[in-house]
Amino acid sequence: MSAVRPDTEAPAHRGTVLRALAVSVPLCLGAPVSGFSQCPDGAPPPCRGARTAAAPAPAANSVAVLYFDNLSRDTADTYLADGLAEELIVRLSQVRRLEVKSRFESQRVRGHASGDPRVLGRSMRAAYLVTGSLQQAGQQVRLRVSLVRTADGANVWGDVYDRSGGNILQIQSDIAREVASAITGQLLPAERTSLTRRSTEDPVAYQLYLRAVGATNTISEAGLRSALDLLDRAIARDSSFADAWAQKAFVWTWLADGYEEGRVGYPQARAAAERALRLDSSRALAWALLGQAAIALDMDFARAEPMARRALALNPRQPDAHLLLSTAAMFAGRMDESVEQARLAWESDTLSASAAHNYLWTLMMAERDDAFAQALARARSAVSAEESRIFNGLLRLARGDAAGALDGLSWQFYGGTFAPMRARALMVLGRQEGARAMVDSMVSYAGRNYFNAYGIAATYGEIGDRDRAFAWLDRAVEQRTMWLTAARQDRAFAALRSDPRWAALMQRLGGR
């Protein structure tokens, strides 16, 4: 995008959620099977050099749950099929002897479940695949599930489940138990208990919850709002449904800063997470989200960090907990630690778009351009084409190509996340009036709609307007945006740090 668009144009959310330092972005939809592989340096094929090393064999205990096909006439049942697959991934992950591929990995191959399992197994580095289909007619549910060994394509286990009354609670437990047993040989008592545990006894509430999980993963505002409605209906049927409360906290965390002010979204997330933990203190996700709310609303890092540690003790592969620790370290100026925690979150699932964005964002804030370039080459398989273009623009800007950077940067992307960088490029090119016109468009839009004040403040910082930058920083504090955790490191505010108002702002952030 080489020119500033009219100020009547709305921000280009396009169903995308990107959160500075607590970034939440949409999943990258499946690519053709031929595009799954990646060169050793992280670049897409064709690779440089005549020969590449063979990929290592998958771990013997590795399994990927592919998204189930919806065979129902009602397309709304896709959410039910998706939610069932998501829950199966979560439940199998509780068996620590299994290496369970994340939902992001499954998203990457979506639509290719009917392909050669040996090819899919190599691309996902999984020794086993779980495939299935769901068909619902009225109150009757039929679910076909198979466990396939990828080394030879053999069907290790399979079954057809028929349930009436919408009761798929037992189906989910049965599948998890059978899959885990087929791979491990024999379940330990604690593993069996974990796999068969029910978070609700209400089958309708559980279906509503599964639909909400599927709706959340669309990462659009409409999908998130739909998920909230479904979760409220589930909770109305069973107020002791801990997983539904934790999922509600997750949805509100995604809405905050993107589609709602932080002071609206984070209190809702906190209340839901607290309720989930009162019902079941073992919910790692709820602990991580509760810590995030503590930072956004109170800047209370003393409370947030133990919550992140508690989440990791419950689930060492919980990326949100690592991201929470990264955020706390960045605000304190411990950039080595912040980068390392962001890396750990990403390495736990290199196909997670949110973890990839957090890592890239942290590297950018730390001004580690070479590491940023290397990570971006690997992260292209996780992010959308638009987001890849944006991060490529940031890399060009860091390397002195301001003109090239403008093609990828936009003030409209998710509440002004990259507006300051676009303003920086314009200023480098001597286009001060263009930068001023851009921030005027942002302010105009913010007068009619929700827009994150931090992005406007940082843009004013880039063009050297200290008074307006401080005024919008005050608004950002009022909004309780999580983005303020980046303020100490954000180079957009470099010219403000000698101003006495900056020290007062930092004290306010650390003590509110």
6 and 61 in a single domain? The answer is no
1 and 66 in a single domain? The answer is no
Give the torsion sign (CA, 460, 466, 471, 474). Answer: positive
Question: Token pair of 14, please?
Answer: 């396009």
Answer yes or no: is 297 within a domain.
no
Domain end point (choices 217, 238, 272): 217
List C-alpha distances in Å: 471 to 11, 104, 233, 416, 492.
Answer: 22, 40, 41, 16, 15
- Are the beta carbons of 81 and 69 closer than 8 angstroms? yes
Same domain assignment for residues 126 and 9: no
150 and 4 in a single domain? The answer is: no
**Same domain for 200 and 71?**
yes
Residue 327 lies in a domain: no
Does 7 share its domain with 85? Answer: no
Residue numbers of the domain that contains 434: 1-13+384-512
Cis status, amide bond into 56, omega within 30 of 0: no
CATH of the domain at 457: 1.25.40
| pLDDT score of 417 | 85
pLDDT of residue 52: 41
| DSSP state, residue 281 | T
Pure H helices in 144-241: 169-184, 189-196, 203-216, 221-237
Assess whether 6 and 109 both reside in one domain: no
- Residue 398 covered by a domain: yes
Residues 2 and 140 in one domain: no
Q: How far apart are CA 67 and CA 107, in angstroms?
A: 8
Q: Are residues 512 and 407 in the same domain?
A: yes
Number of domains comprising the chain = 2
Q: Of 183, 198, 217, at which residue does a domain stop?
A: 217
Residue 61: give its domain's CATH number: 3.40.50.10610
Structure confidence by residue, pLDDT tens digits, 132-162: 998 887 777 888 999 999 999 999 999 998 8
Residue 125 within any structural domain of the chain:
yes
pTM: 0.73
Structural domain contains residue 370: no
Report the chain's terminal Cα–Cα distance, integer Å: 39
Q: Is there a contact between 51 and 60 (Cβ–Cβ < 8 Å)? A: no
Phi, psi of 89 (to 5 degrees): -60, -45
Of 190, 217, 244, the domain-final residue: 217
Question: Does 281 fall in a domain?
Answer: no
What is the mean pLDDT for each group of 10 consecutive residues in the chain (512 residues)?
A: 34 37 31 37 43 68 91 76 83 87 76 80 91 82 91 92 69 88 88 82 87 76 92 97 95 90 97 97 94 94 94 87 93 94 85 77 91 88 77 93 92 86 96 97 94 96 97 97 93 95 91 61
| 7 & 61 share domain | no
In single-letter form, the type of residue at position 359 comes to Y
Whether 362 is covered by a domain: the verdict is no
Whole-number Å distance between alpha carbons of 211 and 227? 7
**Same domain for 6 and 128?**
no
Distances (CA, A) of 171 to 74, 162, 187, 198: 21, 9, 18, 11
C-alpha–C-alpha distance, residues 314 and 25, integer Å: 25
Compute the distance between CA of residue 115 and CA of residue 122 in angstroms, rounded to an integer.
12
Does residue 500 lie within any of the structural domains?
A: yes
Distances (CA, A) of 241 to 129, 217, 248, 486: 30, 20, 11, 35
Residues 100 and 202 placed together within one structural domain of the fold: yes
